Amino acid sequence: MTVAEVARQEGISTATLYNWRKVARERGAVLPSRSSAPGQWSSEDKFRVVLETASLSEAEFSEYCRSNGLLPEWVEAWRRACMGANASEEDRQRQVRHAGKVERQQIKKLKAELRYKDKALAATFLETLYDLGIAPSRSRPRVSNDNAYSEALFRTLKYRPGFPAEGFATLEQARQWVLQFTQWYNNEHRHSALNYVTPAQRHNGEAKSVLIARQKVLNQVKTVRPERWSGAIRDLSLPGAVTLNPERAANC
């Protein structure tokens, strides 16, 4: 807790607290310079902590750390630094290697704990879904209970201009907006996967004549301006099937 926070909590001016801290330091009390972070403790205070804790038992050492707002690993690090001040280069390298090994072990342990917690959380979430009668989907292509196509359409819906970022005020308002979106998507939206014809044209058979007319126009333009093409005009045939990940489907 900072001096400002203590001042607000206790109703004491910061000037008074700073003065008390100065007096306490002059009497030999161990206090951090600006915060409880180990990097903010002065070298003198760190050395004083090491001296004062050198002869303490484990219980006394723990109480000392609690009463002074210290973490035991901070004091241990300061103690090793003091001991290493007169150590040889070989000893220093050995200490660095040992510290690195300890740190890697701690990171590995933390990662294992996180993985365990993530698995436990996922299991709890699945149990809650089943208790509510909800069958979860993996949302991946080519699985029997997949809903990825619906999710892809839902993303298109949310990214449409005019979609209310704050949500809909009423159910009727949501229904009206989705109805307008459906009309646009089926009858106006020219889908890239359908060679830029609308879904309605694809389903009612009109797409074939539209693409034939488009091909005639491109052929005429190519005859007039052949320099605009390095090869044949684009393929305007209709796809037999549309998939979310065709490149992955081909490799399955």
Read off the pLDDT of each residue in 84-111 and give the average, rounded to a whole number: 77
pLDDT level of residue 178 (50, 70, 90 thresholds): very high
pLDDT of residue 7: 62
Read off the pLDDT of each residue in 76-93 and give the average, rounded to a whole number: 71
Choice between 38 and 204, residue whose per-residue pLDDT is larger: 204
pLDDT of residue 114: 82
3-state secondary structure string across the chain: CCHHHHHHHHCCCHHHHHHHHHHHHHCCCCCCCCCCCHHHCCHHHHHHHHHHHCCCCHHHHHHHHHHCCCCHHHHHHHHHHHHHCCCCHHHHHHHHHHHHHHHHHHHHHHHHHHHHHHHHHHHHHHHHHHHCCCCCCCCCCCCCCCCHHHHHHHHHHHCCCCCCCCCCCCHHHHHHHHHHHHHHHHHCCCEHHHCCECHHHHHHCHHHHHHHHHHHHHHHHHHHCHHHCCCCCCCCCCCCCCCCCHHHHCCC
Choice between 88 and 210, residue whose per-residue pLDDT is larger: 210
pLDDT level of residue 28 (50, 70, 90 thresholds): low
Read off the pLDDT of each residue in 26-40 and give the average, rounded to a whole number: 54
pLDDT of residue 34: 46
pTM given for the model: 0.39
